Amino acid sequence: MSVAHSIKPAVQPEPGTGDGRRFTGRHMLLSMIAFFGVIIAVNMVLMTLALKTDNGLVVKNSYVASQDFNRNLAEARAQAALKWTVDISYADGTTTLTYRDADNQPLTGLHIRARIGRPVTDRDDRQVTLTEGAPGSYSFAALLPTGLWDVDALALDDEGHAFRQIFQIKGGDGG
């Protein structure tokens, strides 16, 4: 007997044992397809949900926005020098902004426009113009459904001073 024939495998199945099923290359292929198929399907669902709820854009073109940085900084400094204050309230479908100057006197004759919308989407955004009621109080009527709303208001006086402020209010019953 030669040496080559005397070597036996370390593990030999007992005759008549086992169920006759073996893990083959086909099983491995199907396992890999199933595994990656689940991963891809979950990623597609999450990507679809993310794209439907928020586009993720803060600005349309970040390069152009960066070019305006110094101008925006100068405008912010000029606004701070005015020392105006603004209070906002929402009740019964009316949003009111009250403007006061550095001496706490009402600011009259302002031209105010605002964008109202949800914080996380631009789907409900709309432009409104505020009208002056009592001295220094400017309002617009818009019944806001329940939830958080952003009010981005820009006030201009007759001398060309600009004052921009963004507020967050609760619509519906939470006003």
SS3 sequence, 77-133? HHHHHHCCEEEEEEECCEEEEEEECCCCCECCCCEEEEEEECCCCCCCCEEEEEEEC
Q: What is the CATH number of domain 84-174?
A: 2.60.40.10
The pLDDT assigned to 22 comes to 86
- pLDDT at residue 72, as a whole number: 87
Q: Which residues contact 171 (CB under 8 A, 6 or more apart)?
A: 90, 143, 144, 145, 146, 147, 148, 149
Residue 111's closest CA among 121, 126, 122, 97?
Answer: 97
Residues linked to residue 130 through DSSP beta bridges, in sequence order: 112
Which pLDDT score, from 0 to 100, does residue 159 have?
92
Strand, coil or helix: 71: helix
Q: What is the pLDDT of residue 151?
A: 94
How does strand 126-132 pair with strand 137-141? antiparallel
What residue ranges of the chain have pLDDT lower than 70?
1-20, 54-58, 173-175
pTM of the model: 0.62
Q: Round to whole Å and give the CA distance between 163 and 165.
A: 7
pLDDT of residue 14: 61
Domain coordinates of the chain in residue numbers? Answer: 84-174
Count of beta carbons in the 10 Å neighbourhood of residue 92 = 7
Structure tokens at 13: 């199945």
